[in-house]
Amino acid sequence: MPDKIKVGIIGASGYTGHELIKILVRHPKVELIVLNSENNAGKKVREIYPDFKIEFVYTHFSIKEINEMHMDVVFLALPHTKAMDYALELRCKIIDLSADYRFKKPGKYEKIYGFAHKDKKRKVVYGLPELFREKIKHAKFIANPGCYATGIIISAYPIQKLAKYMVFDCKSGWSGAGKNSIYVKDNSIIKNNIIAYNLTKHRHKYEIQQFIKTKLSFTPQVIDTFRGMMIVSHILLKGMHNSAKIRERYIKFYKNSLFVKIVDTIPDIHVVQNTNKLLLGGFEIDENNQLVIVGVLDNLIKGASGQAVQNMNLMFGFKEDEGLIL
């Protein structure tokens, strides 16, 4: 196990890139060297994010320069379709926060994203530690899951064999749309509002279906908060089941998962904002044999950057929660 690893971020000035910076600067095993930002190179991080007090400056190293630094790992916090261009040239371990490598079959990615995949032979591990911890430990390339995919897969995986059909009603803070979103340009659109979109064909649905084989529906909505996500799962069960036994099934399944907690309450997003936690509660069954589970997480942390660091910790033999406990 190394004492410290050399780490870089490409796409450091977006929301997920900034969350990575905040986590990695307090990580005792990390030397953060590369903070690449195409649009903000040379600027201090606090010029873009005034709450950040450390005198870090955004960089704009070439891939050749990054490779010559002999980095241990680079995080790609880039838009979809852009990450693979960098991944093809980097000579180190990679954790990709885009969707470019999330599909087992590149042809599926091409169909969903409408873009030709340039790196079809790459061996990639899907970076959901709660399911693939051992594979992540030995991986050289991690595809970090989408935020909705993280919440839905963790909410549904232990119960899918008992289910006929699943419906996921999902609400997220507007940071999930990115730094250049319409909500940033005109905050009045989301103020005191809730907006549904991609009612039946959100891209994360197809990512989720790689792991959840039960028929499912998923509708996302944006709410008037910056960060936080709620997944309300409506699961139509096969046969009659006891809610207490189902809850025990979840407790057993996630007993070794540091960041997934089964709670007695109906959780809300306030308890997970700015943390890498994912809480599951509710576990009620109604007269129609429908199980309702409520899951909450921070879309920028457990749904993106925190989970990426969790994966990094596993890859390098660090404690899984290193740098992630406030």
Residues that are catalytic: 147
User: 3-state SS string over the chain?
Assistant: CCCCEEEEEECCCCHHHHHHHHHHCCCCCEEEEEEECCCCCCCEHHHHCCCCCCCCECECCCHHHHHHCCCCEEEECCCCCCHHHHHCCCCCEEEECCCCCCCCCHHHHHHHHCCCCCCCCCCCEECCHHHHHHHHHCCCEEECCCHHHHHHHHHHHHHHHHEEEEEEEEEEEHHHHCCCCHHHHCHHHCCCCEEECCCCCCHHHHHHCCCCCCEEEEEEEEECCCCCEEEEEEEEECCCCCHHHHHHHHHHHCCCCCCEEECCCCCCHHHCCCCCCEEEEEEEECCCCEEEEEEEECCCHHHHHHHHHHHHHHHCCCCCCCCCCC
B/e letters for 50-69, b = 16+ CB within 10 Å, e = fewer, are eebeeeeebbebebeebeee
Report whether 260 contacts 154 (CB < 8 A): yes
Q: What does the alpha-carbon distance between residue 256 and residue 190 come to, in Å, rounded to a whole number?
A: 38
